[in-house]
Amino acid sequence: MKQDRQADPHSDNDSRQTRYWQEWEVSGREMRSVLCVGTAIELCPGKPGFSEAELDKLIAEAQSVMRARANPVDLVRIVPDS
């Protein structure tokens, strides 16, 4: 099951696109729910365009989405969108 959700179109940085989808990690009989966050922001400190404030804002937004989900989420994974 893959559900994409775009970031709020009224955000203060319209160039930032954020997608959300859910995946599952399976190891033996253990299964964990993963909320994946695809983003166009720079994620590597030290690289041009990286902003710790912007990353913190993205993390807070992802945590809000995680809490709003009906099913529990075990992990959040932030990945660069290509």
> What pTM value is reported for the model?
0.72
Quick one: tokens of 7?
């970031």
Quick one: tokens of 66?
């995680």
Predicted confidence at residue 51, as pLDDT, reads 96
Residues 6+ apart with CB under 8 A from 13: 54
**CB neighbours of residue 46 within 10 Å:** 6
pLDDT in tens, 7-39: 443 344 445 678 999 999 999 999 999 999 999
User: How do the domains of the chain map onto residue ranges?
Assistant: 18-80
